[in-house]
Structure 1
Amino acid sequence: MLNMSAFGMFHTALALVAVIAGIIALLRGGEIGSRSRAGQTYIGFTVGTCITGLFIFHHGGFGAPHVLSIVTLLVLALAWFGERRPADAGIWRYVAVLGYSLTLFFHLIPGLTETGTRIPLGAPAFSGPEDPLLKALVGAGFVVYLLGATLQAIRIRQSRRLPLPA
């Protein structure tokens, strides 16, 4: 049907749960983080997606998707570390919030690529990973990430300006 193995379907299911949880976390709290149930779900399922993705070789050997999995794991680790710094630790709050959001953008890349090269059946939307329309959509997704990251950074900055309670 979609030329996908059972393991590939499992990997995709993990990714879908992660993306839905990440969007819920963003909508509810304006950020993804381990202090919310949606954030914990996002982080755990994103780790699972990355790890399972390292064992998928649909396009040959080790390649860009595997590198993206490793980079995503590194950014998640950095964001998690930043989240555990004291509240007055300066830049670490930005690292945590923007890092988690960046990993949500990372989900977009293989999500669009794999979906668009398989659907609609018989006449996929994209010819492959180098399709110009796919690149344009990923670029648009990055612009959306940048806008969201800017709003998150402004929110963090404003929260730091609030007067301390007496």
Structure 2
Amino acid sequence: MFGLTPLGLLHTAISLVALWAGYQSLLQRGAIDPRQRLGQVYLWSTVLTCLTGFGIFQRGGFNEAHMLGVLTLLVLGLALLPLRMRWWPYAQTALWTLTLFFHMVPGLTETFTRVPRGAPLFTGPDDPQLQATVGVVFCAFAVVMLLQMLHRRRRARSRGPAGTRTAL
């Protein structure tokens, strides 16, 4: 199907679970939180997506897509660090959202260099229109990250010194 190997089909199915969990988490909670069930599904399906992606070499050897998998795993690891700095929760929120953007890059590339069948929208990863599309998606994610930071800041300001809610 669409020139995918069995590993490619498994990889795609797992990545769709990760995308679903990531977007559901954003819609329901405003952020991907690994302490919540959807966040756990997102975390582990993202790890599996990266690991299965390392075995796919249809575009030659180890390439940019594989490097994106390594980068995604590094960012996930960083986002899981339990640092105790005042700004760290903001950074974690941005890092989780960044990993969701990382899912979109190969997702857009692999989908729209194959679909519609026989006349795909993009010719390959270097297609300028694809690169522009990825740029637009990045800008959308940057706006989402900004909105998340503003929401987190607003919530922090509405809490008292001991973390209790105060009347505004």
Same fold judged by TM-score > 0.5?
yes
CA distance in 1, matches of 2:83, 2:75: 16
Counterparts of 1:118-137 in structure 2, within 5 Å, are 118-137=114-133
1:101 aligns with 2:97: yes
Answer yes or no: is the 8 Å Cα contact 1:21–1:39 preserved in 2: yes
CA deviations 1:56-108 (Å, max 9, x no partner) are 11100111001000000011111111xx345xx31210121110000000111
Query: How does the TM-score come out when normalised to structure 1?
Result: 0.93
Deviation of 1:133 after TM superposition, in Å, equals 1.3
Aligned to 2:111: 115
Moved over 4 A (4+): none
CA RMSD of aligned residues (A): 1.2
Answer yes or no: is the 8 Å Cα contact 1:33–1:39 preserved in 2: yes
Q: In the alignment, residue 161 of structure 1 is paired with which amino acid?
A: R
CA distance in 2, matches of 1:52, 1:32: 22
1:39 aligns with 2:35: no
Query: How does the TM-score come out when normalised to structure 2?
Result: 0.92
Counterparts of 1:12-91 in structure 2, within 5 Å, are 12-81=12-81, 84-86=82-84, 89-91=85-87
Q: Percent identity?
A: 45
**Structure 1 stretches lacking a partner, 5+ long:** none
Answer yes or no: is the 8 Å Cα contact 1:78–1:95 preserved in 2: no
**Structure 2 stretches lacking a partner, 5+ long:** none
CA distance in 1, matches of 2:67, 2:91: 21
Secondary structure of the residue that 2:31 maps to in structure 1? Answer: coil
CA distance in 1, matches of 2:94, 2:62: 28
CA distance in 1, matches of 2:149, 2:119: 41
